[in-house]
Amino acid sequence: MLQKVRTSAKIHEVMVQVTRKDSKESVENMIRRFTRKVQQSGTIANAKNAQYFTKPISKRDRRTKAIQRQERKSLKVKRMKLGQR
pLDDT digit string, tens, across residues 53-66: 888 999 999 999 99
* Mean pLDDT (the chain, rounded): 84
Query: For residues 18, 22, 27 and 31, what is the CA-based torsion angle, rounded to 10 degrees?
Result: -30
17: left (phi over 0), alpha (psi -120 to 50) or beta: beta
SS3 57: coil
Total-model pTM: 0.46
State mean pLDDT over 17-37: 88
Residue 61: per-residue pLDDT: 96
Percent of the chain with pLDDT over 90: 41
Worst-scoring range by mean pLDDT, 7-11, 28-32, 65-69?
A: 7-11
Give pLDDT tens digits for 73-84: 999 999 999 998
